A and B are shown apart, each in its own frame.
Chain A
Amino acid sequence: MLKLVKARLLQLVFVLFLLSLLTFTLMKLAPGDPVLRILEVDELAVTQADEAALRKELGFDRPLLVQYGEWMLNVLQLDFGNSYIKEKPVLDEMIARLPTTIQLTVGGLAVMVLIAVPLGLLAAKYPGRWPDHLSRFLALLGASIPSFWMGLLLIYVFAFKLQWLPTMGKGSAQHMILPSVTLGFAMAAVYARLLRAGLLESLSQEYIRAARARGIAEWRILWRHALRAALLPVVTVFGMSIGSLLAGTVVIETLFSWPGLGSMAVEAIFQRDYPVIQGYVLLTGVFVVVVNLLVDLSYGLLDPRIRYGKGELS
């Protein structure tokens, strides 16, 4: 186990190095000269000497490797510079927007659980019958419908036509419904199928037969005994797909003008606000990579049957 943790931590360091290198390289390749940009803001007559002086002051005349090292030192201290537009530290802006994104994610997950668990249980209880077909149909729909388009349809029906819910923005609890449903539906479709597969597999196990022989009610067996074993692959896949969950928030936050991290990143791209893009890419990148690592390591904790033993490395 310790050996595994060590190997994975080494890999983590390598991945984070790759991420930082990629961000730094892309930033250097970005069109537009930051020196000229800063000078233009001052709106004074710019001479070659001014330009060279500022270039020297900012350290842009030094070798790239030195610049990378210095940049890395700042990043390690969570200093991502100031936003070009708001002229405030990027980190502050991100921290201010983080709760909003978490709120949307929790809403989406709640919708996901509310759809996926009953549907998965029903599909496993009646395989080959209508709940199973319904879950299969929803899975196909969920995998094929563009989430932003579903969001648009929901806005059209529930906000324009029926006028039950607000169109966009953040505020009351009602504002949360449409974005959460849009985010949760696509996930629910996947997890309902996953849960069904896991349940069917655990239902064929010996201990389920033993529980049936003891005369325990079928629903209780499904809920208490089978579900627990079936949740492991679900949790694993969930951890692995945290990246696509964040991708979903980018699309849905922009669609519903939800002021979270995702819409911040998209706005920054259009405003060419490079420090903000950099902060978003680095912090979410680190987050996803670390979560994936934790999920990888948590297999053993969740299921004692596959706890990593003696020198085993996979």
Chain B
Amino acid sequence: MNVNVSTVFRQSPIRRNTWRSMLRDPMTALGTGILAIIILLTLIGPFIVPNDSLAVKMSERLQSPSWQYPLGTDHLGRCIFSRLVAGAKTTLGISAFVIISVTLIGIPVGLLSGYVGGRVDALLMRLVDGVGALPEFILAIAISGFLGPSLTNLMLSIVLVKWIGYARVVRSIVLSEREKEYVLAARVAGCSTWTVLWRHLLPQIISPVVVLAALDIGKIILIISALSYLGLGAQPSAPEWGAMLNDGRPYFQTVPELMIYPGVAIMLVVVSCNLISDGLRHILDVRSR
């Protein structure tokens, strides 16, 4: 029975032509292209980088670009290109982890709060409002301050704050959708709460969540690199772009390349994320059409 209802009323939110429309807009296509290249580099990185990103060779410090070291070496003789590629893995991996964690917390909370309502909703929303009122950087300082600076603690503090936005968005969509005919029809047809949530409501919230996530990824990358630069995230010697900037700081005056490459890398990734999020918002968000 519920198969019929769901095939009739189910709308697939991210249509096949989403990809096509994304590539038609030049700026979005540019962002997608840059990000695709960076992800590809990250994936095949371990096979193409010429050197070990952690190998210190004091005899070959601060060298200019060569076949052996495509972008030269840093103040400890480490290959900058290899470190940049390894840094992409750290940065992209962490932001992917953070985004997946926040959606995995935010979506169920929002669904539950919006669909079940009542006391559960009141309780969850108090929590959301309470945690949401705390600025994330204060949380980041509190957590890394008391528990010690590390990448794990930094990720923890970002996840702790960021899930709020997702819970709020999902809840507001569920609140407006749950009174609509197709949900009523599904319930009359005898669908369980679980089926209604999973098969009927979840597809509705995917596109707003994707738009929100695309917007957040850029911000998360900036937070992680800024705090790593301060020494509150990835610790020096780890190939992370912010930490690389921190690491090479005394040499910037003589060898500005040490500062240029990681910064450009951060900016390229964040620019492409922002371009993609702009494009996605345009394509998926009905209101902005």
Contacts and interface: CB of A to CB of B under 8 A. Distances in A.
A144 B275 CA distance: 10
A266 B232 contact: yes
Contact of A246 (B135, B146, B222): B135
A58 B133 CA distance: 33
Contacts of A112: none
Contacts, number: 131
Nearest to A252: B226
Given A26-B142, A140-B274, A145-B267, A254 B135 contact: no
Contacts of B253: 156, 160
A143 B230 CA distance: 20
B149 interface: yes
B240 to A, nearest CB: 13
Interface of chain B, main secondary structure = helix
B138 A140 contact: no
Most buried by B among A15, A149, A160, A247: A149
A247 B131 CA distance: 17
Contact of B259 (A14, A19, A152, A270): A152
Say which size band chain A's interface belongs to: 35 or more
B218 A254 contact: no
Given A146-B222, A251-B226, A243 B142 contact: no
B141 A280 contact: yes
Interface string B240-274: 00100100010011001001000100110011001
B145 A18 contact: no
Contacts of A30: 146-147
Contacts of B225: 146
Given A247-B135, A266-B230, A152 B146 contact: no
Nearest to B130: A18
Contacts of B270: 143-146
Interface in B23-43: none
Contact of A288 (B131, B138, B230, B259): B138
B135 A14 contact: no
Contacts of B143: 26
A274 B135 contact: no
A23 B134 CA distance: 12
A30 B138 CA distance: 16
Nearest to A243: B135
Most buried by B among A14, A244, A280, A281: A281
Contacts of A147: 226
Nearest to B219: A143
B117 interface: no
A156 B256 contact: yes
B229 A148 contact: yes
Contacts of A243: 135-138
B134 A289 contact: yes
Contact of B144 (A247, A251, A269): A269
Interface of A: 11, 14-15, 18-19, 22-23, 26-27, 29-31, 140, 143-149, 152-153, 156, 160, 243-244, 246-247, 250-251, 254, 265-266, 268-270, 274, 277, 280-281, 284-285, 288-289, 292
Given A143-B270, A246-B135, 12 more contacts: A15-B133, A23-B142, A26-B145, A144-B218, A144-B271, A244-B135, A246-B137, A266-B230, A266-B232, A274-B145, A284-B135, A288-B135
